[in-house]
Amino acid sequence: MNILFFITPKNEVAYIDDTCSLRQAIEKMEYHQYTAVPVLDGKGRYIGTLTEGDLLRELKMHHDLSLHDAEDVRVARIDRSRKMKPVGVDVDIEDLIQVSMRQNFVPVIDDNGVFIGIITRKAIIEYCYEHSDLKKEKECVKSSN
């Protein structure tokens, strides 16, 4: 099975450019209600994932940082505690599932490291459920009532 079946394309994903400010990152994550977002460089390559925890650690280290001052802190400078591993478009489904067990979403990159989208753990679980005996059993129970 081709993993692109599961992908949410880049144009539908909230991501942060590494030149964005800490304030912009906070505002984007708050607006979309995300706890983690991919970070891309100026050429669209995936360079990591920024989490709420990363933002909190940065604020803790600079406890006197105002929201105005947060405009001067670039995302590229923020240490990221979790290394969310991206996968290539040619990864097999078994490896994708292994990676997704450790991450809420899996960034997908092309052969040049350019970010093309994400695959959420939810999309994988929904697919597995739709093709499982659990759903068939539930439908049988509903139809017999």
Q: How far apart are CA 123 and CA 1, in angstroms?
A: 14
Is 136 part of a structural domain of the chain?
no
The H or E element containing residue 132 is none
Is 138 part of a structural domain of the chain?
no
Is 130 part of a structural domain of the chain?
no
Buried b (16+ CB within 10 A) or exposed e, 97-124: eebbeebebbbbbeeeeebbbbbbbebb
Q: Name the residue with higher pLDDT: 50 or 132.
A: 50
When pLDDT is averaged across residues 87-95 and rounded to a whole number, the result is: 90
Report the domain count for the chain.
1
Q: The domain that contains 29 carries what CATH number?
A: 3.10.580.10
User: Residue 65: is its pLDDT beyond 80?
Assistant: no
Range of the domain at 85: 3-120
Is 128 part of a structural domain of the chain?
no
Residue with tokens 């209600």: 33
Is 132 part of a structural domain of the chain?
no
The overall average pLDDT reported for the chain is: 87
Angle at 95 between CA 124 and CA 11, to 5 degrees: 55
Q: What is the pTM of this model?
A: 0.82
Q: Name the residue with higher pLDDT: 113 or 133.
A: 113
Which residue type sits at 143? S
